[in-house]
Amino acid sequence: MALYTPQLASFKVPAIDNEPMSCIVNGKEVKTGKLAKQPMPATHAKHLCTYHEADQATVASAIKGALAAKAEWEAMPWNDRAAIFLKAADLVSGKYRYKLMAATMLGQGKNAWQAEIDAAAELSDFFRFGVKYVEELYSQQPLKNAPGAWNRIEYRPLEGFVLAVSPFNFTAIGGNLPGTPALVGNVVLWKPSPAATYSNYLVYKILEEAGLPAGVIQFVPGPPEEVVGQAISHPEFASLHFTGSTLVFKKLWKDIAANLDKYRSYPRIVGETGGKNFHLIHPSAEIKNAVNQSVRGAFEYQGQKCSALSRLYVAASVWNNGFKDQLLTEVAKLKVGPPTDFTNFVGPVIGRPAFDKITGYIKQAKEAGGEILVGGGADDSVGYFVQPTVILTKDPKSVTMVEEIFGPVLTVYVYDDADYEKTLDLIDTSTAYALTGSIFASDRKALLHATNRLRNAAGNVYYNEKCTGAVVGQQPFGGARASGTNDKAGSISIFYRFVSARSIKENFVGLEDYLYPSNLA
């Protein structure tokens, strides 16, 4: 999909305060007694909407309704199921493009460019490429048939229901987590993030307008522990499709294990989680490109991408010969403010807890001897704004080089050119994560050497390009170690996790005798 359409220049973000919104169970809005607000990060004084949260009875009825919708959804011809998602993709990139973008800008604090990448381009790509991948999956059939026999594979949806638990930071991931299992015939209970409820609600409404039958996806915003806990302890729970923090994913995995004896099948657990992503700047790197890519990688969407650049390893020869000056000059120029002013590059972070956590890390880094080279400030008087911050550390294992911050904070470690091999070891071993990383070098041997040495340090690797911005269909996305199950969103691989294949052999030739030739001697 083409990005940044000309109309965007005159795009007026519509007012979307107080849109009606609630849980949607069996296609109907459910008004419960429990109300919640999604705060607006750029103003925090207002809110986008008040919505009804799922209570226990709502979750129970959503699960029951999903299971009731299952037989018909499974039996729907593939072409009809595919048509719904293709229609939804057209609505996302067409009729609802600006509304989705506005919801993502105001509700999640993205600037217009980032909102278009996410809510329009990536979401419609997930749906369109999803259809292509499922076509490919279904057409994968045994290559061999013995004479008189026919083999085939049926890609059944899972027995029971899938639980999709989505993060705040990508509207597209919100749509993809329930969309992927639903596309292959599953029914899904979708618990969105409380910080992205409005945009996610719109995604649900778009699927509904595209023809998704009532009950196939149940939209149940609500208190995370309660809603998720209730779903996980249900005997028909079949799978978790999660994206979010490592801590929460590990907890949910343990909760699932504790309930294992209740389930009919071993649940499929798919989780894409945190990152501590790196740029490695080799002595042969082209400086201007490495600087610009680092600025985008670290500060786009306030560093609130799982893939955001967070630890930067720069050769001393490069750092002292222009890299440092260019980096600091560019970061100091970044304009910070609400996304409604299109000249702002950096917007608000998602909310009070994120603001406190990020500023807490900056404080810790200072106390541990880190030098703030630029930024370091923050302002929560109106909205949650953290200045883009660059910290220089002499300790490559200091806290901001190791832990996920999820904010506009970049820590730099300058290595002696002679210590290149040691630096590769540091990158590989100093964090628990392995999501994304980039190597900047004009020496091709150096690129290949680092790629081999860092084989398990990232699921997505880039050469001379920032470590964010994976595109559906081009760079399948995900990481291993503490970063997730690496099932690769935006590729065919993920669909295997939500089907349970059945092999069927049909015999056309009757057996004349049960004895083997060896028995006849």
Ligand X SMILES: NC(=O)c1ccc[n+]([C@@H]2O[C@H](COP(=O)([O-])OP(=O)(O)OC[C@H]3O[C@@H](n4cnc5c(N)ncnc54)[C@H](O)[C@@H]3O)[C@@H](O)[C@H]2O)c1
461 binds ligand X (CB under 6 A): no
- From the CB of residue 80, how many other CB atoms can be counted at a distance below 10 Å? 9
Task: State in angstroms the smallest separation of the CB of 345 from ligand A1AUG.
Answer: 16
Residues in Cβ contact with 456 at an 8 Å cutoff, skipping those fewer than 6 apart: 428, 434, 480, 481
CA atoms within 13 A on the CB side of 267: 32
Give the nearer residue to ligand X in terms of CB position, either 304 or 423: 304
Binding at 470: pick from ligand X, ligand A1AUG, none (beta carbon under 5-8 Å per type): ligand A1AUG
Provide the CB-side half-sphere exposure for 376 (13 A, CA).
13
Q: By CB under 6 A, what part of segment 258-277 binds ligand X?
A: 272-275
Please give the backbone phi and psi of residue 434, each rounded to the nearest 5 degrees, phi first: -155, 60
Q: Which helix (H) or strand (E) holds 51?
A: strand 47-52
Alpha helices in 323-380 (DSSP H): 324-333, 352-367
All residues at 6 or more sequence positions from 358 whose CB lies less than 8 Å from its CB, including other chains: 349, 378, 386, 405, 406, 407, 408, 409
Which letter, b or e, does each residue of 430-463 get, where b requires 16 or more Cβ atoms within 10 Å of its Cβ? Answer: bbebbbbbbbbbeeeebbebbeebbeebbbbbbe
Q: Is 384 in the site for ligand A1AUG (CB under 6 A)?
A: no
The site partner of 468 among ligand A1AUG, ligand X, none (C-beta below 5 to 8 Å per kind) is ligand A1AUG
Structure tokens belonging to residue 495: 């669909």
Which backbone phi and psi does 82 adopt, to 5 degrees? -60, -40
Q: Residue 429 corresponds to which tokens in the numbers above?
A: 């071993």
Q: Say whether residue 499 binds ligand X (CB under 6 A).
A: no
CA angle 105, 106, 107 (to 5 degrees): 100
Name which of ligand A1AUG, ligand X, none residue 488 binds, using a CB cut-off of 5 to 8 Å depending on partner kind: none
Q: Looking at 286-395, which runs of residues are DSSP E strands?
A: 309-315, 371-374, 378-379, 385-386, 389-393
Which of these segments, 26-34, 109-117, 186-194, 418-426, binds ligand X (CB under 6 A)? 186-194
382 DSSP 8-state letter: S
Torsion on CA atoms 48, 232, 489, 469, rounded to nearest 10:
40
Q: Considering the rule CB under 6 A, would residue 169 count as an interface residue with ligand A1AUG?
A: yes
DSSP H/E element including 439: strand 436-440
319 or 345: CB nearest ligand A1AUG = 345
In angstroms, what is the minimal distance from the CB of 468 to ligand A1AUG?
4
Interaction between residue 462 and ligand A1AUG (CB under 6 A): no
Is 39 among the residues that bind ligand X (CB under 6 A)? no
- For the bound state, the minimum distance from the C-beta of residue 172 to ligand A1AUG, rounded and expressed in Å, comes to 8
Q: Give min distance, CB of 477 to ligand A1AUG, in A.
A: 5
Q: Report the nearest approach of ligand A1AUG to the CB of residue 118 (Å).
A: 8
Closest Cα partner for 302 from 355, 362, 242? 355
Other Cβ atoms closer than 10 A to 469: 20
Q: By C-beta, is 59 or 439 nearer to ligand A1AUG? A: 439
User: Is 421 tagged catalytic?
Assistant: no
Q: Least Å distance between CB 464 and ligand A1AUG?
A: 16
Give the interface segment with ligand X, choosing from 33-41, 140-148, 165-173, 375-383 (CB under 6 A): 165-173
Q: Is 201 in the site for ligand X (CB under 6 A)?
A: no
Number of residues forming the site for ligand X (CB under 6 A): 30
Q: State which residue has the least CB distance to ligand X.
A: 244
Q: At what angle do helices 78-93 and 123-139 cross, to 10 degrees?
A: 160
Cβ 43 to ligand A1AUG shortest distance, Å = 24
- Residue from 185, 215, 383, 484 that binds ligand X (CB under 6 A)? 484
Q: Which of 116, 122, 208, 272 is catalytic?
A: 272
Angle made by CA atoms 323, 327, 332, in degrees to the nearest 5: 155
By the rule CB under 6 A, 477 interacts with ligand A1AUG: yes
Nearest in space to 174 (alpha carbons), one of 147, 153, 199, 149: 199
Q: Which one of ligand A1AUG, ligand X, none is in contact with 469 (Cβ closer than 5 to 8 A by kind)?
A: ligand A1AUG
The entry of ligand X, ligand A1AUG, none that residue 165 binds, CB within 5 to 8 Å by partner kind: ligand X
279-318 footprint of ligand A1AUG as x/- string (CB under 6 A): --------------------------xxx-----------
Q: Which is nearer to ligand X, 242 or 415 (CB)?
A: 242
Contact region with ligand X (CB under 6 A), list: 41-49, 93-101, 242-250, 511-519:
242-250
Q: Binding to ligand X by residue 110, rule CB under 6 A?
A: no
* Token couple for 285: 């790197």
Contact 119, 101 (CB under 8 A): yes
Interface with ligand X (CB under 6 A): 165-170, 173, 191, 193-194, 224-225, 228, 243-245, 248, 251, 272-275, 306, 404, 406, 435, 477-478, 483-484
Interface with ligand A1AUG (CB under 6 A): 169-170, 305-307, 468-470, 477
What are the residue numbers of the active site? 272
